[in-house]
Structure 1
Amino acid sequence: MKKSFHIVGMGRVGQTFAAVLPKSGRWKWAAAVSRKNKPGVLADYSANMIVPRIQDLPPADAVLIATPDNVLKNTAAQVAQLPWLANETLVMHFSGAKTICVLDEVVKCGATVGSLHPVFAFADVEKSIRELAGNLCALEAADAEGMTKLHELAEAAGLRAFEISSQQKARYHAALSAASNFSVTLAAFAQDLLAPLHFSDELVRELVSGLMRQSVDNLAELPPLSALTGPIVRGDDSTVEGHLSVMDEAERQKYRIWAAATLDLARPRLGSGQINALEKVLNLSDGKAH
């Protein structure tokens, strides 16, 4: 018999799971809380109920909270008001930063709680629906029963699950945010450096994303120090000096920050003379860029 689930918050994550979970044949989407009557790419799911308020949700086996982190606690408090919550009901959120502590009000009602954080960049709903399966996800639960229910959900979504404790959550999410968000910021910086060359947008994106993709592929096989390439790890201070000479002051400030961090990584592969030369070019003092 299929289990039913509700989704609270129909952004990109909510829409993706609303579409993916029923494909397993083990779950059916019962209802969703959304300010929109027909959210995004799920406009064809007219048979499913879209309600404006959490208190309008009918009984279900699971409530999946896909709201922004800042409103999770308030959302959980509203879910806790549902009269039909029971020990068998799973209430979970998708946040990688917040722990299950934000669901404490739900715990008081006797429901089982947990979190499932997909290690995936939900930039586009249709693409996410196609490509979510096969990716990793972190599971956090208060007890074995909750963890079992989360593993069932992860399997239904085609995700490869690993377990994490509440104490590990903040550092875990900081690391993933750095990998995902900072790489996009760095790509934007690289693209901005190319702007004066008046290349086409398509060429600029291909130049930057292509090289970044190669570096990421290398990181899948090698540790960062071995995967690192370029003038800094080669000790080519004259090349770095040439880079700085064609930048404006705002660009130089950003470049020096990234270069200083790269030099810290590259130190084991460099001689003391190379390190000193690079530090001089980058105007480093006590390991900090100025």
Structure 2
Amino acid sequence: MKKPRITIIGLGSVGTALLNVLTKSGYEVISVFNRSEIDPELIRNFPDTYFSKGLPNNENKLGELTFLTVSDDAIDSVATQLSERCTDLEDKSVVHCSGVHASKILSPFSKKGASIASFHPMKAITPKTSSFENTWFDVEGDGAAIRWLEDLADSLNAHVFEVEPKAKPLLHASAVVASNYLVVLAELVTKISALGGVPEDTALKAITPLMENTLRNVKELGVTEALTGPIARGDLKTVKQHVESLKNAPELLSLYKTLGIEAVKIAVRKNGETDSLEEIRKLLS
């Protein structure tokens, strides 16, 4: 399938990353629109792309595939405003990259003949993101738009999987846990280590390789088999010592106990119910 010409509306982290990656991958990004002034250096770096502040006045500046990469809260109003300026969007697709919204939020474009879809990257993206290799995108929407996106992902050495609209907010919540809450866990690591006088930078240098190794184990072995440590072994005395050492930091102890209870559930799946796991459950409860 011939590569579509691309339009990007919204130069946040995702929009800027798409501009960089798609151009580098041989896509013709014909136009970029942004609600605020565009960095002149960015314009100089992409001399073949038309840049403009605000929204297009009509469909003439839109490529075959338009990415609406504005904030989640702005998608509805931008879709309404832009669609009202367009007359005929046949043979065009409009896509948003929100994790929580389904493609139906783009229905104003459907009324003008466009196919619509959502295309959400399961990746922590910054404006410096230079590749989507091995990134997974959840997609849903019209077949014509999804075919464009499948081909696009394939050309970027990325992957797509189709989801039902109702799965979008749940999948996004899981992505928040996987990405944002991993940062929260790193913060928890530094706070607990600090109680023992270990500096934050030292704790992170020591612990992040362990976190990375655990993520590899989760990927290769699955959640249940990846669980190691005192709860997986049923080491009641070790867990008691942890609880005792955290008694003067009630907020940290509460988090440790809450996460520990979930670890007990995994340990039971892995090794079956044991007396030691029951005692650990009681201790953490």
TM-score by length of 1: 0.87
Matched letter for residue 21 of structure 1: L
How does 1:121-200 map onto structure 2 within 5 Å?
121-122=124-125, 124-126=126-128, 128-129=129-130, 131-142=131-142, 144-200=143-199
SS in 2 for 1:54: coil
C-alpha displacement of 1:101: 1.0
d(CA) in 2 for partners of 1:221, 1:228: 12
C-alpha displacement of 1:141: 1.8
Q: 1:44 to 1:134 in 2, by over 3 A?
A: farther
CA deviations 1:131-187 (Å, max 9, x no partner) are 422322122122x22221222332343322222232332332232222222222112
Q: 1:224 to 1:108 in 2, by over 3 A?
A: same
Is the Cα–Cα contact under 8 Å of residues 121 and 135 in structure 2 kept in the other structure? yes
Is the Cα–Cα contact under 8 Å of residues 55 and 81 in structure 1 kept in the other structure? no
Question: 1:108 — aligned with what?
Answer: 111
C-alpha displacement of 1:197: 3.6
Is the Cα–Cα contact under 8 Å of residues 10 and 32 in structure 2 kept in the other structure? no
Is the Cα–Cα contact under 8 Å of residues 194 and 200 in structure 2 kept in the other structure? no
Is the Cα–Cα contact under 8 Å of residues 98 and 120 in structure 2 kept in the other structure? yes
How does 1:60-139 map onto structure 2 within 5 Å?
60-83=63-86, 85-122=88-125, 124-126=126-128, 128-129=129-130, 131-139=131-139
d(CA) in 2 for partners of 1:138, 1:251: 35
CA deviations 1:198-246 (Å, max 9, x no partner) are 4344322222211111100001111211110111111112111111222
CA deviations 1:58-114 (Å, max 9, x no partner) are 232222111221221112112212325411111100112210011111111111111
SS in 2 for 1:88: coil
Q: Which moved more, 1:192-201 or 1:257-266?
A: 192-201
Question: 1:224 — aligned with what?
Answer: 223
Matched letter for residue 125 of structure 1: P
Tell me the percent identity.
Answer: 23
SS in 2 for 1:81: helix
d(CA) in 1 for partners of 2:26, 2:46: 19
Is the Cα–Cα contact under 8 Å of residues 87 and 112 in structure 2 kept in the other structure? no
Question: 1:287 — aligned with what?
Answer: none
C-alpha displacement of 1:42: 3.5
d(CA) in 2 for partners of 1:104, 1:7: 18
Is the Cα–Cα contact under 8 Å of residues 190 and 200 in structure 2 kept in the other structure? no
d(CA) in 2 for partners of 1:35, 1:188: 34
SS in 1 for 2:278: helix
Matched letter for residue 83 of structure 2: A
Is the Cα–Cα contact under 8 Å of residues 55 and 78 in structure 1 kept in the other structure? no
d(CA) in 2 for partners of 1:271, 1:60: 59
SS in 2 for 1:279: helix
d(CA) in 1 for partners of 2:226, 2:4: 46
Give the paired residue count.
Answer: 278
Unaligned segments of structure 1, at least 5 residues = 285-290
d(CA) in 2 for partners of 1:251, 1:201: 16
d(CA) in 1 for partners of 2:200, 2:42: 31
Is the Cα–Cα contact under 8 Å of residues 6 and 63 in structure 1 kept in the other structure? yes
Matched letter for residue 257 of structure 1: T
Matched letter for residue 171 of structure 1: L
TM-score by length of 2: 0.88
Asked if 1:242 is matched to 2:241, the reply is yes
**How large is the RMSD of aligned CA atoms in angstroms?**
2.2
Is the Cα–Cα contact under 8 Å of residues 191 and 208 in structure 1 kept in the other structure? no
Q: Which moved more, 1:254-263 or 1:42-51?
A: 42-51
Unaligned segments of structure 2, at least 5 residues = none
d(CA) in 1 for partners of 2:62, 2:28: 14
